[in-house]
Amino acid sequence: MDVMSDVKATRATRLREKSGARRQQQKAEVRRALLDAASGLFLEHGLTGFSLRGVAERVGYSATTVYLYFENKDDLLFAISLDGFEQFGQALQTAYETTADPVERIGALGRAYIAFGVAHPAHYRLMFMERGEFLTKTNPHDQKPTSDAFGILVRAVHEAHAAGRVRPGNPMDLVYTLWAGVHGLVALTLCVPMLNEADLTIRTDHLLDVLFSGFAEKAR
């Protein structure tokens, strides 16, 4: 009996720990399912056609259940944007590693930036146009340092600056000018109907060409 109870106790404890971990894992799974459904609905229908009720229906839950896994609609959108920032950071990181030349590197980053924007319009809109505040919002889950896309760009420009490949002055000015250029091109492509995506490569080439000519100019 004592032996039995002992066995049962240990097994119960193990089960409790196991079940606690499993509960946590199950909770994470449901959260992930909700997030995937939300991402899908958002990528398909954009911000306007994105509703909590729609997300819930997709997973077979009630609408209010979403509030058990996310603070509110904005929190869910932020989670979606985090996935976007993750992808975006990896794309920039890959571009960064394609070449060792500081100037070519910046060009690769610019092209990767634009390519991501037009390839993931819903994500890009959310991250940089509709919810710009997400850029500076700190990740509460704090899991991954959300591969710092901005940091990659800053580093690349600093390296080109240190190598004397760009005009003297505050390198951050170059960062913002470059960012403005690529963001402007992406944003206009996504928003303005007259700028079809067909001639985007021409405009990309021209923009980067002009920017680099301006960047490269030596002191005045």
Partner DNA sequence: TGACAAAGATAACGGTGTTAAGTAAAGTAT
Partner DNA sequence: ATACTTTACTTAACACCGTTATCTTTGTCA
The yes or no reply on residue 97 touching its own copies (CB under 8 A) is no
The yes or no reply on residue 49 touching its own copies (CB under 8 A) is no
Supply 104's token pair: 């070519």
Residue 28 contact, options DNA, its own copies, none, Cβ 5-8 Å cut-off depending on partner type: none
29-38: list long-range contacts, CB under 8 Å, 24+ apart.
30/59, 30/69, 31/69, 31/70, 33/59, 34/59, 34/61, 34/66, 34/69, 34/70, 34/76, 35/76, 35/79, 35/80, 35/83, 38/76, 38/79, 38/80
The yes or no reply on residue 212 touching its own copies (CB under 8 A) is yes
Residue 211 contact, options its own copies, DNA, none, Cβ 5-8 Å cut-off depending on partner type: its own copies
Q: Which is nearer to DNA, 73 or 155 (CB)?
A: 73
The yes or no reply on residue 107 touching its own copies (CB under 8 A) is no
**Which residues in 42-101 contact DNA (CB under 7 A)?**
50-54, 56, 60-65, 67-68, 72-74
CA distance 35 to 29: 10
**Which spans of this chain sit near DNA (rule: CB under 7 A)?**
12, 15-16, 19-20, 23, 26-27, 30, 50-54, 56, 60-65, 67-68, 72-74
